[in-house]
Amino acid sequence: MEVRTATQHAFVAQGKHSEAEAELLSARQEIARLQAAVKQVDATPVSQGEAWQHSEQVVVSALRWATERPPGRLRDNGCAVVLYGARAINAHIMEAGLQLETKDYDLLLLVTSHQDFISESSQLLHTLQALHPTIPVTGDARIPGYLHISVHNNRILDISEARQQDSEAWAMTYGPPRMLLLNSCPAIGHIAVLPREQLKARLLATTSQDYELAQTCFPCGFDPVHVPHWRVEKDRKHLRRLEIVEALGVYWKE
């Protein structure tokens, strides 16, 4: 028998929200509750070294959570996780000295609906907080389709929403995600990573503001014209590095 919270019953009874919307609201409230639960822990001062160690511990737990999801296809409950961004580019580069400097990890959560994204991302946040009760792990879900996870107010993980149809379209153009080792986190082993050509296409789309190219490598509807200037400059720097790596041939062959 399904058990609903009092808040869900109230909204459904009043006719102000559908049952699915009530579930979505409940997930958002759960994230807010978890954020409030760590305020007392966050008040404990720590050194910079301790904060770095805490971040590494939480990152390892999050990546282990991600590697439980099969690459290139959806799980039975409709979710899979793929690494993208600078960390994904680094996974393709053989020479450590040519890898990009970056502080956080970017993960695409492939889901069948926005409600599934809210549910799965809040489950990740809850899992990390349960695994590390003495570490202030917080989440920011104010922007729809994103969950930013921080430790000691330093962002360590960006979780972004993508849909099944996006994943299928990407695979037709660039192939499925690659299983690669993370030099930055050897304890994890292999993880699903976006193909190098798709990562390059994403950089080209934002730096040249190419809307048509963006539709082949970003979640459907992404508009590179409205990308912030700092993001364009960052991607331009990453693109130059990737082009150097390709010219030297020091990348893992696909």
| Domain range summary for the chain, segments of one domain joined by + | 38-88+97-193
**Residue labelled with tokens 């296409």:** 201
Q: Which two tokens stand for residue 9?
A: 């019953």
pLDDT of 1 reads 47
pLDDT, tens only, 18-52:
666 766 676 666 666 655 555 555 556 678 788 88
Please tell me whether the overall predicted TM-score, pTM, comes out greater than 0.75 for this model.
yes
Contact yes or no for 65/124 (Cβ under 8 A): yes
Range 38-88+97-193 has CATH code 3.30.460: yes
Entry field: residues in the chain: 254
pLDDT of 184 reads 79
pLDDT, tens only, 133-145:
999 999 999 999 9
